[in-house]
Chains A and B, each alone.
Chain A
Amino acid sequence: MKMIIAYINPFRLNEIRDALREAGVTGLSAGNIQGFGRQAGHTETYRGAEYEVEFLPKVRIEVLVDDSLAPTVISTIEETARTGSIGDGKIAVLPLEDVVRIRTGERGVDAL
């Protein structure tokens, strides 16, 4: 099993969800985060005072999948999140030791 974490642009979230559902993914988690990377921050101006804001709003999604589905999920996120501009984000893939479905107590692949 794999845990796939992707840092993406917020405006790509809905497309990625739809593409992953189509690819057979049954669930994902998403949260608003802030981060900085190679993409420069932006300028904000309040009453004439300009601030360089380094942290940009991003979305982090987490998907738990069976090994067989992992390559599809990775390529789906990669293709759907890409705009070609700096700041499209990153995908991290982690080995996943176990999963528990809390309601039923199922373990491992059965809990996905």
Chain B
Amino acid sequence: MESWGDVPILPVRTRRIIEWTAYLFILPAFIIVGAFHIFPVFYAIYISLNQGAINQFHFVGLQNYLQALTGSDFWSSLATTFIYAFMTLPVTIFLGLFFAYLLYQRVRGRGIYRTLFFLPYVISTVGSSIIWAWVFNPENGLANHLLSLAGIQPLRWLIEPSGVFGVLAAQFNWTIPSWAQGPSLALVAVSIFTVWQSMGYDVVLFLAGLTSLPGELYEAARIDGANAVQLFRFITLPLLAPTTFFVVVVSVIASLQSFNQIFAMNTAAAQTLGGPLETTNTLTVYMFNQLYTYSNYGYASALAVLLSLIILALTLLNFRLLGRRAEA
């Protein structure tokens, strides 16, 4: 009974046999993925070494990469990307786990709650961005209404290029140096929207993980006199590690690639693609702009490859740091 928790997943590398049938198992997936997901990657790499119109490329070697790495636009959009990820990822994952855990309790109306929590992810971004542009509307939006209850002056949210700390300090007539202004309020507003939208997704994933946990362990622990916090800390969290690991890896990838949320919010708020004064110009937005506004296919592909490498490095790091624990 108590062996449940420490039963190791059979470490495959201790088994010497090569199971050739494994290739049959992965074959269908790799046919599809190979043709439609891996081939385009090689194509993107190929294009990233070229310049010119879409069907008149000429080879330029690593010039696009040099242009990106030596210019300031790439680095500033990369910084925006990380700030955005930093503002959205931890909050989303924490709220996702928190609410999934609450929904996992035997509460009345659990099915209804679960459905409600999932709603944000169901609505297409086109629809929800319109509603959120209303929430953030400087003139009469809900966000400002809530702030006014707390005695705070109305803010301009999605159309505010000034840093969030600067904006808040201005409420008290303080001025703070430009380096301490923080990310633009517009980026903060987009992040709030993103947290709202992705939370439902994380809730669903964590719930799936939680519902797979063996229930009788709790029984045993409770008999041993464990309280709710201990149960969570010593039983749920360790057992949930594979799911948490999955959510973290997938969220890091999705967050660094975020495009739809930013694009939709800026469109709904009648801003340019990069937001007010390009303060929501993440790396994917920058890449999209190069692709569609400038028609720089080679340069845009180089940006995509660089972004992919960064994400890949972070993912491998995740496997190193978290994967060991999750997959021991």
Answer whether A and B are interacting partners: no
